[in-house]
């Protein structure tokens, strides 16, 4: 009797999900409609899901199975960017969609979910495998986990896993408390903390670029790298999320999770294998090597900003305080820039400049690695002192990698000019890239936690970010301090200028 | 006799990029991006519709950008070889810069086939994989084939186009045994079938019922085809690797296309029904779309495999052994 599937062909067959059910808490919410259902439908479109795959949606709104299916069909049609809604396929997919209404704090809801799962196990042969997805308000995470635990749904004939969306707490203490509550029900190995940035193809490509090639890693250290910039700029404002956003702010919403994870990926030590534990150990180690700053250091090495009104492209754009749902005296940061340092042999003395903001001139996320200048300038002219080499990893849009270096201008004399050597992800691989949620959902269903955040990483990130939050809370900044459509407050430029650096204009 | 010196073709290629670059002038110009991940050599008969092949190559380029060298065989006649170069360009959705690939077209008579490697080898892009897609069934039997195949790292053929399936498999197995890295579109056409069968055994309860011995029955519209032989050989090989003995039966009487696996009280059947593939396990059926794969879809899969394909290699060897048995 074979222990494994005898008919595998990993070179040609895509990874496939075993029979299972996904229970989505907050099934009537935006995330479910915009991201989760389109991603799951796409997995079905790509024939990645097992025939009996089932989804149980749950939220407070009373809906029948058919009403839920209709809503989800609308969502898939509206938010699947590059997947057409195939009626035949939808019929099969919708056959696996079920709905259970109820209050997340009501024990009866979990009894009904348990009965539904038992029924699905019989009807769809899900093998008792269940992935619980918490797509609710963060304040309900612990409640939902405990409801699952009280009903005994964390155990069954097959595997049981829990996916949690960020934020993972709002400071170190709340992150630990949330973790403790989740651990009362689920083992850490069954908890998947999703950070959709890590699911982006180009973020994953950082690992391929660094550890699949031999030429970059020898340069990847303080001897050759002068400083690193990580930028995540958005051109839009809070777009109706003002009420949520003013509780979070740019530092907590972006840097604490997404950008520190990106930084950990770009700066971590090579891992011994591409197994989840190995990769996550190295990411975690890097985050724990980051030096939490003293209040004085924070004043020197961090800048909070908030956008004010401006006129962009002939249109008046409101400031943050004028956005709907935002307190007119809000002191929330819509821009955050931080100089971070990593205390290990590889990176000692190399500043990592991390910035993010809303209403910046363009939407761009990139990592710029500035190499040291040539040790001796032997050429004459305006670039005689050398323009440092620059490696740009573009995460979005136009994903790719560029290397900037000096080249001789054609003609007499030895005049140099910078040129760019580009690798464009879209042109070298014209095939469609899966969305971050497709990648991450597939990974969770296949028990691959490589791209998921572990609790020790969450705590290490908060250990760096929380002292900054505390100082910012204590010291009032005169907001707004940058106009919408600009690259942030002047103080952010001054922060780099103290080390003789300037922000790159992506 | 016409000639195609490689230096001339290389100069034409260089000029092509200068011309493409000059067409993008003015403030709105974003330049032309050259994309190349491989050299793709296609050998085809001149009588084949060039538009069909052109569309297939154009569709492949966004996913497998390549310097494509199309060799058109004009058949009998005096020694003649001619060439032209052009660019294959497209504008990715939402972007402002055109992406272009190079295409070289060489026309030659059978008598000039021996000259082809000396023209093509200097045109291959250094350091990148070289694929040869042989669309001409008669070329497989020609004396020049080994020398042409040696230009590439991997050779893709279509044994389905050959009249005598057992003989075709023996020939391919022989080439593979001599070190040729082969791909066969007849095998590629089976991917959906194989994947569907594999999916049945993602459920460990099904795998647990494979306690052997097993009986495999394959029927490809009543003929002994390379596809039928591949499918039977692959299923038997996979079961054998799991310690389960199996007998393979290639049915030639029924006008159906199916593959069946029986093992004790376990019974699974895959069957083509028009444009659908119906998988039935213990009487429960599931139906999925099975459109006829065109050359683009088949090549797209094959060009993604640069190195040896171990499952295909072992299946080819055992399918060739079956082929001896069916004679």
Across B116-127, b (16+ Cβ under 10 Å) vs e yields: beebbeebbeee
Rounded to an integer, what distance in angstroms lies between the CA atom of residue B242 and that of residue B248?
16
Contacts of A247 (CB under 8 A, 6+ apart): A170, A332
Rounded to an integer, what distance in angstroms lies between the CA atom of residue A393 and that of residue A400?
6
Residue matched to tokens 């090495």 = A301
* B 286-325 near A (Cβ less than 8 A): 286, 288-289, 301, 305, 309-311
**Are the Cβ atoms of B202 and A429 closer than 8 angstroms?**
no
Mean pLDDT of A252-266: 93
Whether the CB of B168 is below 8 Å from some CB of chain A: the reply is no
Q: Are B234 and B190 in contact (CB under 8 A)?
A: yes
Rounded to an integer, what distance in angstroms lies between the CA atom of residue A308 and that of residue B43?
64
**Are the Cβ atoms of B65 and A19 closer than 8 angstroms?**
no
Rounded to an integer, what distance in angstroms lies between the CA atom of residue A8 and that of residue B201?
9
Q: pLDDT of A218-245, one tens digit each?
A: 999 999 999 999 999 998 888 777 777 8
Q: pLDDT of A261-287, one tens digit each?
A: 999 999 999 988 888 888 999 999 999
Residue matched to tokens 């052997």 = B212
Q: Are B279 and B196 in contact (CB under 8 A)?
A: yes
Phi, psi torsion values for B101, nearest 5 degrees: -120, 155
SS3 B200: helix
Q: How confident is the model at residue A431 (pLDDT cuts 50, 70, 90)?
A: low
- Give the total residue count for chain A: 506
pLDDT at B29: 56
Pick B202's closest partner by Cβ from A12, A16, A431: A16
**Are the Cβ atoms of B210 and A125 closer than 8 angstroms?**
no
**Are the Cβ atoms of A11 and B311 closer than 8 angstroms?**
yes
- % of residues, chain A, pLDDT over 90: 56
Rounded to an integer, what distance in angstroms lies between the CA atom of residue A337 and that of residue A492?
6
Helices (H), chain B: 6-23, 50-60, 116-120, 145-149, 165-177, 185-188, 191-200, 204-208, 226-241, 295-303, 310-326
SS3 A127: coil
Helices A107-124 and A141-150, axial angle in degrees (round to 10): 70
pLDDT at A110: 96
Rounded to an integer, what distance in angstroms lies between the CA atom of residue A66 and that of residue A381?
73
Q: Per residue of chain B (327 residues), what is the pLDDT tens digit?
A: 456 677 788 888 888 777 776 665 555 555 667 778 899 999 999 888 888 898 899 888 878 888 999 999 988 777 767 777 777 777 665 556 667 788 899 998 888 888 889 888 888 888 889 999 999 999 988 999 999 999 999 999 999 999 889 999 999 999 999 999 999 999 999 999 999 999 888 888 888 889 879 999 999 987 889 999 999 999 999 999 999 999 999 988 778 999 999 998 899 999 998 888 888 988 777 777 788 889 999 999 999 898 899 999 999 999 998 877 655
Q: What's the half-sphere exposure (Cβ side, CA atoms, 13 Å) at B164?
A: 14
Interface mutation vs chain A, best among B33, B94, B198, B233, most A CBs within 10 Å: B198
């Amino acid at each position: 009797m074979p222990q494994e599937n005898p008919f595998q062909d990993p070179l040609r067959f895509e990874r496939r999900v075993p029979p299972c059910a996904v229970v989505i808490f907050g099934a009537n919410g935006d995330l479910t409609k915009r991201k989760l259902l389109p991603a799951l439908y796409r997995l079905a479109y790509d024939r990645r899901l097992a025939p009996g795959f089932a989804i149980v949606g749950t939220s407070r709104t009373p809906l029948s199975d058919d009403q839920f299916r209709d809503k989800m069909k609308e969502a898939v049609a509206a938010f699947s960017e590059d997947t057409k809604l195939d009626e035949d396929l939808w019929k099969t997919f919708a056959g696996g969609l079920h709905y259970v209404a109820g209050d997340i704090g009501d024990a009866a809801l979990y009894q009904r979910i348990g009965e539904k799962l038992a029924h699905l196990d019989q009807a769809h042969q899900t093998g008792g495998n269940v992935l619980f997805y918490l797509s609710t308000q963060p304040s309900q995470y612990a409640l939902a986990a405990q409801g699952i635990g009280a009903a005994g749904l964390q155990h069954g004939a097959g595997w049981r896993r829990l996916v949690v969306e960020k934020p993972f707490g709002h400071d170190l203490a709340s992150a630990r408390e949330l973790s403790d509550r989740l651990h009362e029900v689920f083992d850490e190995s069954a908890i998947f903390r999703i950070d959709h940035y890590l699911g982006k193809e180009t973020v994953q490509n950082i690992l391929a670029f660094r550890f699949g090639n031999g030429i970059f890693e020898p340069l990847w250290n303080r001897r050759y790298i002068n400083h690193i910039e990580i930028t995540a700029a958005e051109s839009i404002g809070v777009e109706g999320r003002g009420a949520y956003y003013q509780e979070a702010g740019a530092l907590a919403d972006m840097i604490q999770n997404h950008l520190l994870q990106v930084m950990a990926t770009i700066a971590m030590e090579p891992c011994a294998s591409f197994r989840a534990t190995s990769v996550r150990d190295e990411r975690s180690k890097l985050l724990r090597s980051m030096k939490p700053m003293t209040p004085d250091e924070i004043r020197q090495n961090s800048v909070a900003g908030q956008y004010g009104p401006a006129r962009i492209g002939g249109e008046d754009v409101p400031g943050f305080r004028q956005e709907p749902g935002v307190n007119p005296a809000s002191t929330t940061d819509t821009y955050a820039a931080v100089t971070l340092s990593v205390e290990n042999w590889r990176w000692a003395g190399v500043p990592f400049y991390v910035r993010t903001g809303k209403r910046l001139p363009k939407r761009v996320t990139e990592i710029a690695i500035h190499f040291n200048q040539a040790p001796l300038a032997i050429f004459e002219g305006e670039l005689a002192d050398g323009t440092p080499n620059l490696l740009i990893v573009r995460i979005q849009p136009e994903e790719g990698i560029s290397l900037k270096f000096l080249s001789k201008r054609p003609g007499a004399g030895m005049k140099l000019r910078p040129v760019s050597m580009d690798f464009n992800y879209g042109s070298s691989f014209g095939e469609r890239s899966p969305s971050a949620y497709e990648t991450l959902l597939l990974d969770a269903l296949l028990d691959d936690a490589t791209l998921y955040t572990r609790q020790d990483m969450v705590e290490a990130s908060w250990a760096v970010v929380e002292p900054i939050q505390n100082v910012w809370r204590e010291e009032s900044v005169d907001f707004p301090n940058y106009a919408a459509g600009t690259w942030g407050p002047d103080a952010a430029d001054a922060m780099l200028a103290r080390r003789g650096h300037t922000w790159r204009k992506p | 006799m016409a000639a195609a010196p490689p230096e001339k073709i290389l100069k034409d290629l260089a000029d092509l990029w200068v011309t493409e670059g000059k067409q993008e002038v003015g403030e709105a110009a974003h330049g032309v991006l050259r994309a190349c991940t491989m050299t793709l050599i296609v050998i085809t008969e001149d009588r084949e519709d060039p538009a069909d092949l052109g569309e297939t190559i154009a569709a492949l380029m966004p996913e497998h950008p390549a310097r494509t060298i199309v060799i058109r065989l004009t058949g009998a006649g005096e020694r003649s070889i001619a060439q032209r170069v052009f660019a294959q360009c497209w504008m990715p959705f939402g972007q402002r810069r055109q992406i272009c690939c190079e295409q070289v077209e060489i026309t030659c008579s059978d008598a000039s086939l021996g000259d082809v490697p000396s023209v093509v080898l200097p045109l291959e892009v250094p350091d990148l994989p070289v694929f040869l897609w042989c669309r001409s069934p008669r070329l497989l039997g020609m004396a020049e084939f080994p020398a042409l195949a040696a230009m590439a790292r991997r050779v893709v053929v279509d044994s389905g186009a050959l009249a005598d399936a057992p003989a075709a498999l023996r020939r391919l197995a022989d080439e593979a045994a001599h070190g040729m890295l082969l791909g066969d579109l007849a095998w590629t056409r089976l991917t959906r079938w194989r994947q569907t069968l594999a999916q049945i055994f993602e459920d460990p309860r099904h795998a647990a019922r494979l306690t052997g011995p097993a009986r495999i029955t394959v029927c490809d519209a009543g003929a002994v085809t390379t596809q039928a032989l591949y499918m039977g050989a692959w299923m038997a090989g996979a079961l054998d690797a799991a310690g389960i003995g199996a007998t393979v039966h290639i049915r030639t009487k029924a006008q159906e296309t199916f593959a069946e696996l029986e093992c004790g009280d376990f019974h699974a059947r895959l069957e083509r029904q028009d444009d659908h593939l119906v998988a039935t396990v213990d009487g429960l059926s599931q139906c999925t779309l099975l459109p006829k794969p065109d050359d683009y879809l088949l090549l797209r899969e094959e060009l993604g495999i640069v190195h040896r394909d171990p499952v295909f290699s072992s299946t080819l060897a055992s399918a060739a052994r079956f082929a001896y048995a069916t004679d």
